[in-house]
Structure 1
């Protein structure tokens, strides 16, 4: 763990945060470029997007969603903007917390590698660990594309603003963003000295420190360095190891150098390093449900046969007995160079970047205290290189952007899975004598070599033409080439070191390969595609803007790198080694308005996205053989309505509400995997009828038609809301404000399984957060906070372990937490 790093960082942040106010009073006003957005031009007023009600009118929010600076109200797309103040005040220090502020955004993670960031219900197949597919939501930090969703589990580091762009963005962003993009802007180096600090402590041993320092080195060179560290005790007690698990343990550092050799040229060099080393990620027992397995092969009978009982059947007692090692070691790092040249006719930008990801996990894959799977590890290393060129021209009536993007990625994974002494009794049929011999499966080991080489190239562009002073048209196009080359090689040996093969007829070998099967195949995919979109924007009045968008885009095809089914002879079924591209048609209309002299904002968007050949997860029902693989569902549709509204009637009060209704369903998926209650029995034959759900020893359909059912992980209703009020006071000779703030969120129930199951619906829940504090006009802010005030019991995710025994495990959300934060800047 990195607690030794976090402690001095917290001390340094505390020291800076409590710096006397005289130093704060000497702070220099920020130039627009210093405020965090590299696109702000000299001479323009810097945006004010803090949550504190310090101004009587609604501040303008500037964004770079279209790769140029403009206000959020001018951009003809659905966009949510979260500023640094709101991130700090609400504790939204990573993407997982950000979803409480942005209803259309969802984030699910059973561990950093198995994480999903979705917008409007689409983006990543829910719950699937597979390196061979692309994300539908692009994550960008200072123009650099982050391919690994694992980056979403790290702390935001010196962030100025986050823009969540909803809907396809591929004609402005070189990598595919069929569902949307998360555009993160960090604070930039400044030529005036600046320092910021934040220190927080709370229950569960929570400690967080953030510091950043920026200033000039020479007349043409400025530098900035930022540190962040978070530590917190876990919230689940593992009685098997007598330790708390699922802790937080993050440390990050970012350094930037800005060189301005001429008025028209600037170069920014950036390097960052972030690491996690928590005891993570474990689950708790939630329930069992009847399946169509034989009764003696369902969870209750299997557990009773080994005299096993879970430590607690109440999930929110937060007790587990996982006996295998747990680790979620996770490191991301990288370096980039951004060069911008104002040619006088437009701005030419080059972004060159290298990123590295190192994943060192250990899991308990059987989710119990029994030594069924004693080792489960898939350490992985990724290197990615990106190069982007853009030219942006702003004219009187015509603006355009053209660009080229190149991406290359290498992923190397070394998988290891070993079965333990309880595996025979748990995984083999109790009627077989082999199930009573622990040595049959004890020591059975699969060593997996998994490789991916991924190339993506794109040419893209977008034009904006003002037809009249009120009406404009914005067409865009992107030409894309993708190639993926993979390798999957699983070598299986038993406890005596003997190779497990499909050639052997030895009953012990036959039983062993039914649990861990050897396999070798080399999938490959390559394809060209063209995406395009067109947007009409109409200014009804200076304060009311409308837009309508149609987009036709693609999500590249993928390859399966977790193994595929074998045929009767033991050969991999190669036709499912690849999956087809998703073909996306997107329709959207929106209205953006401000009124009451700019103190009120109301934005509405209605959308529909139709996807053909949707990349979905298919789960194999056998224990241990496969975790899951990609397949194409015939058609998916997501549609809905979104609202973003805020009101600031005076400098003393502000309030906001954001809501989303999302109807995301499989329109056609006739051969989907069945839910656990319809799985595990004998497959129906010709002329037979499947048994009712949950019939022990019944007849199970080979597949299920789930057309019309809901996509996993999507709540129909999601709402975020809050308010803050303040009164001016003078405390200890400092002028400032006492304030009270509230933030809440609500999500209706959602399915936590790729195929909806009666056992995996997560009930609706709502979270309430409070903060109260004092901030000075000179830049000091100290406040108490409580999150999940009502101590709501809720699940972030439920999981169905392989084997279809009826066991359901889950990841409980955080209980009530509280603490104290102090911030300062000078």
Structure 2
């Protein structure tokens, strides 16, 4: 039996739980004095109390994520309102990220995300490998709304910070093993030690393995399996009290099988009916998949005096992907996409911080030199054709930024900031048609036809300001209002097909958002109830939407990156935590988004003209409602301390692409629970996820066959098939973890 929560029910549950437990908290106040811990965040590039930061931010500690069953970055979405962090279609480690309706679902090289991903202070330019497993992490922060002033590139929707555990100079070693459903076998080890009084070293390594949730029925290979390794090395040197050097190197290897999709309709080619298990599939390709990402970073910090601190952050990152995705998910090569990606980036940031107790300021210079290259084949095997897309885009970005917070009057302060960004992009793009079946590793041959072959350059620049007011109503209550301008650079369509769209080689424009936010952060009942509320409105111009349509009677594909004319986004967010007693804690969050296109000028390649389709389009990956409700109880048991957690996560109906399709799915309600036991150096945890075994779709491919007004198939789709294929979230799983701290 499935459990369903409507938006009104989850909102009512949150309110009733908070009001009831708040009354309980008042009743026990005379005999107990529980209080919430102070949460430190670095949303403004310096360590601060969450309650004093005029930004909508969620922070999850390593302990909180463990007790909630958070296994990787994608799981964080359930505990941050109006946030979508999901594994992209056909992969295990590529991230699709949206915050407040703003993001980018297309992971092709050259397209840049709308949500910035950071490992510590290092920006990750590409989504491949960004679904990072939780390994020796201090906390994860989700900053909602444009963060361009301080975080710069592509934080138009927000930023997600993966903050690793810091070296502290004391010897430490921790090991953990996990066994679970579908033959889950995870192992983590992390430690650190001083090599001298001023030089410390640390490391972390994890291997994450699982059999498939299903299989490729025609080959017997696992589908939705997991085979990932990750490692990190950290070094810290403190030659004096005022000078420090910190070095980090990390690497992730994902050798899981490429995911096969679930066909929602019968195959026009093989007659295959949809399987009974959504994790079963067929394939005409090898299931080999390899993603390797990593980098190195050196941070130098110098305390000039009590007020001024200088920081230099130098980093290099690179990634390689070799994957095979069978779009049509049949045993015939109707629509297959093998692909290679190769990207690298170098960044340098110089930062100057000032804090004299009344004024806080940060400013700096940021430079990025990145190259993203790739090639993929659209194998139309039944037609005896292969379309090869390839090329590179080089990006050089230079930015200068500054932000300051200062008092205007007693309890009233102001924040002023701005960032100037200049991006230079050089792109080369080709699109060749070959006779027969071709793969990216094949030797070059003469193409049958050339649909695109061009090189071009473009420069984009923008000044993005931020203005805010903060008023401290009391020691425990703060209200703020802010205006922030967000900017994401323009670029070139790496799938450009000039044979269909003569203007496909023209650069697309940057996207701009103006966001107005009102927030209220408060703690009540002697720091036992924390409520953080934010209301926002975003005026969104030139939104970048990648669109692919079958053309020429479903024998070819036309791609374009569309600058949607105008859109409005408004919404509300609530995060609340209540220490009802010294043993019981209740955590809730709820988010509401109303996102609407006002104008979309779309070039229809089949009609050869531009039309306004704003009435037909909706925001992708943006449910109207999100929320969670979690109860956590602490007690003494079996000679140690036990934490029992249980809760429900909710997301309302979601549209996967900009237009409605069969892939769109209804609301999702997931129930999770865990029991953690701690004694001396031992940690044991039993975790159940998706306990009702809810089936829910995350993504898909939609190259549907031609249908009449009654939905009857009247002609084949791209490649001669009816390609409507979905990818799904994890089924019910149970795991047992045992850890020991030396």
User: 1:698 corresponds to which residue?
Assistant: none
- Please tell me whether residue 582 in structure 1 is matched to residue 511 in structure 2: yes
- Please tell me whether residue 394 in structure 1 is matched to residue 355 in structure 2: yes
* Paired residue secondary structure (2:66): helix
Alignment of 1:320-331 (within 5 A): 320-331=281-292
Alignment of 1:791-806 (within 5 A): 791-801=693-703, 805=717, 806=722
| Contact in 1 for aligned 2:110/2:392 (Cα 8 Å) | no
- 1:596 pairs, out of 497, 503, 525, with 525
* Paired residue secondary structure (1:140): strand
Per-residue CA deviations over 1:62-111 (Å, capped at 9, x if unaligned) read: 11111111100000010000110122222322221111222322023114
- Please tell me whether residue 480 in structure 1 is matched to residue 418 in structure 2: no
* Paired residue secondary structure (1:628): strand
* Paired residue secondary structure (1:762): coil
- Please tell me whether residue 352 in structure 1 is matched to residue 314 in structure 2: yes
TM-fit CA distance, 1:736: 2.0
- Please tell me whether residue 242 in structure 1 is matched to residue 220 in structure 2: yes
| Contact in 2 for aligned 1:673/1:755 (Cα 8 Å) | no
Per-residue CA deviations over 1:243-282 (Å, capped at 9, x if unaligned) read: 2212111101100110000000110011111110011221
User: 2:456 corresponds to which residue?
Assistant: 523
User: 1:821 corresponds to which residue?
Assistant: 737
* Paired residue secondary structure (1:204): helix
- 1:728 pairs, out of 613, 620, 636, with 636
- Please tell me whether residue 632 in structure 1 is matched to residue 563 in structure 2: yes
Per-residue CA deviations over 1:344-370 (Å, capped at 9, x if unaligned) read: 031100000000101111121333222
User: 2:100 corresponds to which residue?
Assistant: 120
Alignment of 1:496-645 (within 5 A): 499=446, 501=448, 518-567=451-500, 573-574=502-503, 577-622=506-551, 623=554, 625-626=556-557, 628-645=559-576
For the residues of structure 2 that align with 1:328 and 1:663, how far apart are their CA atoms? 38
| Contact in 2 for aligned 1:281/1:328 (Cα 8 Å) | no
User: 2:399 corresponds to which residue?
Assistant: 458
For the residues of structure 1 that align with 2:365 and 2:232, how far apart are their CA atoms? 27
| Contact in 2 for aligned 1:712/1:756 (Cα 8 Å) | no
* Paired residue secondary structure (2:43): coil
- 1:362 pairs, out of 321, 324, 327, with 324
| Contact in 1 for aligned 2:489/2:509 (Cα 8 Å) | yes
Per-residue CA deviations over 1:29-68 (Å, capped at 9, x if unaligned) read: xxxxxxxxxxxxxxxxxxxxxxxxx993200001111111
Per-residue CA deviations over 1:619-642 (Å, capped at 9, x if unaligned) read: 222346337331111012221000
Give the direction of change, closer, same or farther, for the CA distance of 1:445–1:683 in structure 2 (3 Å limit). Answer: closer
- Please tell me whether residue 646 in structure 1 is matched to residue 562 in structure 2: no
User: 1:98 corresponds to which residue?
Assistant: 76
| Contact in 2 for aligned 1:454/1:482 (Cα 8 Å) | yes
User: 1:213 corresponds to which residue?
Assistant: 191
TM-fit CA distance, 1:397: 2.2
| Contact in 2 for aligned 1:618/1:672 (Cα 8 Å) | no
For the residues of structure 2 that align with 1:88 and 1:406, how far apart are their CA atoms? 36
TM-fit CA distance, 1:492: 2.8
TM-fit CA distance, 1:498: 8.6
Give the direction of change, closer, same or farther, for the CA distance of 1:55–1:724 in structure 2 (3 Å limit). Answer: farther
Structure 1 gap segments, 5+ residues each: 1-53, 289-298, 425-440, 503-516, 675-681, 685-700
| Contact in 2 for aligned 1:466/1:472 (Cα 8 Å) | yes
Aligned length: 686
Alignment of 1:155-554 (within 5 A): 155-287=133-265, 303=268, 306=269, 308-314=270-276, 316-344=277-305, 345-373=307-335, 376-420=337-381, 423-424=382-383, 441=384, 444-495=385-436, 499=446, 501=448, 518-554=451-487
The 10-residue stretch of structure 1 (533-542 or 573-582) with the greater mean CA deviation from structure 2: 573-582
| Contact in 1 for aligned 2:419/2:465 (Cα 8 Å) | yes
For the residues of structure 2 that align with 1:376 and 1:144, how far apart are their CA atoms? 31
For the residues of structure 1 that align with 2:250 and 2:192, how far apart are their CA atoms? 16
Q: Runs (4+) of structure 1 moved beyond 4 Å?
A: 496-502, 701-704
Give the direction of change, closer, same or farther, for the CA distance of 1:360–1:87 in structure 2 (3 Å limit). Answer: same
Per-residue CA deviations over 1:524-582 (Å, capped at 9, x if unaligned) read: 22122100010100001111100001112321112111123425xxxx62455311111
* Paired residue secondary structure (1:751): coil
| Contact in 1 for aligned 2:345/2:369 (Cα 8 Å) | yes
For the residues of structure 1 that align with 2:597 and 2:94, how far apart are their CA atoms? 22
Give the direction of change, closer, same or farther, for the CA distance of 1:803–1:389 in structure 2 (3 Å limit). Answer: farther
Per-residue CA deviations over 1:676-721 (Å, capped at 9, x if unaligned) read: xxxxxx859xxxxxxxxxxxxxxxx985623374201111000012
* Paired residue secondary structure (1:372): coil
| Contact in 2 for aligned 1:767/1:792 (Cα 8 Å) | yes
Give the direction of change, closer, same or farther, for the CA distance of 1:405–1:787 in structure 2 (3 Å limit). Answer: same
Per-residue CA deviations over 1:738-766 (Å, capped at 9, x if unaligned) read: 33211320000011122233x23211111
| Contact in 1 for aligned 2:56/2:145 (Cα 8 Å) | yes
TM-fit CA distance, 1:802: 6.5
* Paired residue secondary structure (2:692): coil
Q: Please report the RMSD computed on the Cα atoms of aligned residues, expressed in angstroms.
A: 2.3
Per-residue CA deviations over 1:402-423 (Å, capped at 9, x if unaligned) read: 1110011112213334442xx1
- 2:596 pairs, out of 665, 670, 679, with 665
Per-residue CA deviations over 1:207-226 (Å, capped at 9, x if unaligned) read: 11111111100011011100
For the residues of structure 2 that align with 1:191 and 1:472, how far apart are their CA atoms? 38
User: 2:21 corresponds to which residue?
Assistant: none
| Contact in 2 for aligned 1:665/1:708 (Cα 8 Å) | no
The 10-residue stretch of structure 1 (100-109 or 140-149) with the greater mean CA deviation from structure 2: 100-109
For the residues of structure 2 that align with 1:188 and 1:92, how far apart are their CA atoms? 20
For the residues of structure 2 that align with 1:800 and 1:774, how far apart are their CA atoms? 46
TM-fit CA distance, 1:392: 0.4
- 2:654 pairs, out of 750, 759, 771, with 750
TM-fit CA distance, 1:818: 0.6
User: 1:717 corresponds to which residue?
Assistant: 625
For the residues of structure 1 that align with 2:46 and 2:424, how far apart are their CA atoms? 31
User: 1:25 corresponds to which residue?
Assistant: none
TM-fit CA distance, 1:803: 6.3
| Contact in 1 for aligned 2:167/2:202 (Cα 8 Å) | yes
Give the direction of change, closer, same or farther, for the CA distance of 1:823–1:650 in structure 2 (3 Å limit). Answer: farther
Structure 2 gap segments, 5+ residues each: 1-31, 438-443, 707-716
